[in-house]
């Protein structure tokens, strides 16, 4: 299968999962994760109609976004999905419209400092830690609402909801259930922050059945990732 076939096939699977869940067609936003692939892949996907792209490292994403815009594509929409260091925030804000991985107070402080000077408004998700391993990134349940409160105070920032990555133990349904419960908690504080970013190549259909509004799909579309771009 070539890129176009893989892309169409994932789109069909998304439509089928939406139907099966009784959800409106097109209610799930697909972000294609292009990490480790060259800018040309983004251009090829753009030619197929894709507009939202995900990256997880600023060192790679920043030159790629520049290359794509220099190729004449002005409407690529960049989503930052990886662990974000505070000292990269300024750079990421120059190309990204959405950050999926907001997970600590120091990052919120830096966002609030840099957003006033950024070229566009920013939207984002609070990343959840669904495990007991604090090194994995993401907020623990107890920190969700305090972090959300500080994010809601930032001008020019639109809190969309929560983001989750299923743990590697092969039970995404259980992890996603926890994410949905934490989404409900967030909504008690911020009723409009009702979006859920969850689901990747191996589990996006389960995620859609459980209410994901944004899915982040890489290899099912791009093919296997080369280790370097
Ligand atoms: C790489 C990555 C994805 C996509 O993973 P695939 O398994 O290739 O679909 C999604 N989300 C995050 C945070 C990632 O780092």
Per-residue pLDDT tens digits for 3-36? 999 999 999 999 999 999 999 999 999 999 999 9
Both structure tokens of 52 = 């939202």
pTM above 0.85, yes or no: yes
The CA-atom distances, in angstroms, between 217 and each of 169, 184, 221 are 19, 24, 7
Ligand 1 atom at shortest distance from the alpha carbon of 216: 10
Q: What is the pLDDT of residues 158-215, one digit of tens each?
A: 999 999 999 877 788 999 999 999 999 999 999 999 999 999 999 999 999 999 999 9
Question: Does residue 229 carry a pLDDT above 50?
Answer: no
Question: Does residue 118 carry a pLDDT above 60?
Answer: yes
- Strand pairing of 52-55 and 77-80? parallel
CB 98 within 8 A of CB 122: yes
Of 126, 136, 133, residue with least CA distance to 101:
126
Instruction: Provide the pLDDT for residue 132.
Output: 77
**Residue of 32, 52, 56, 80 with the most ligand 1 atoms within 8 Å of its CB, for mutation:** 56
Instruction: Provide the pLDDT for residue 63.
Output: 98
Ligand 1 atom at shortest distance from the alpha carbon of 35: 1
What's the CA-to-centroid distance between 214 and ligand 1, angstroms? 12
Ligand 1 atom at shortest distance from the alpha carbon of 222: 8
Which fold does the domain 3-222 belong to in CATH?
Answer: TIM Barrel (3.20.20)
List helix spans (H) across the chain. Answer: 3-20, 39-47, 58-70, 89-93, 105-115, 141-152, 172-189, 204-209, 219-222
Provide residues with CB under 6 Å of ligand 1: 33, 35, 56, 81-82, 165, 200-201, 216-220
Instruction: Provide the pLDDT for residue 126.
Output: 98
Question: Does residue 95 carry a pLDDT above 70?
Answer: yes
- CA pair distance 179, 199, nearest whole angstrom: 11
SS3 content of the chain, % helix, strand, coil (to 5): 45, 20, 35
Average pLDDT, the chain: 95
- CA pair distance 29, 52, nearest whole angstrom: 9
């Amino acid at each position: 299968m070539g890129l176009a076939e893989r892309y169409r096939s994932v789109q069909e699977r998304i439509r089928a999962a939406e139907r099966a869940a009784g959800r409106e067609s097109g209610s799930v936003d697909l972000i294609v994760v292009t990490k480790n692939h060259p800018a040309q892949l983004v251009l090829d996907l753009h030619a197929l109609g894709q507009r939202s792209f995900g990256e997880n490292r600023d060192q790679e994403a920043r030159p790629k976004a520049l290359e794509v815009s220099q190729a004449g594509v002005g409407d690529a929409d960049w989503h930052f999905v990886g662990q974000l260091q505070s000292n990269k925030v300024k750079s990421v804000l120059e190309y990204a419209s959405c950050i999926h991985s907001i997970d600590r107070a120091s990052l919120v402080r830096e966002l609030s400092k840099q957003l006033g000077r950024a070229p566009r408004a920013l939207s984002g998700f609070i990343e959840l830690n669904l495990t007991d391993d604090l090194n994995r990134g993401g907020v623990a349940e107890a920190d969700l609402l305090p972090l959300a409160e500080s994010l809601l105070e930032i001008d020019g920032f639109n809190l969309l909801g929560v983001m989750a990555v299923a743990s590697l133990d092969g039970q995404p349904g259980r992890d996603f259930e926890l994410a949905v419960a934490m989404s409900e908690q967030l909504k008690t504080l911020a009723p409009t922050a009702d979006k859920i970013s969850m689901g990747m190549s191996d589990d996006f259909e389960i995620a859609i059945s459980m209410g994901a509004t944004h899915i982040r799909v890489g290899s099912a579309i791009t093919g296997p990732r080369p280790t370097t771009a």
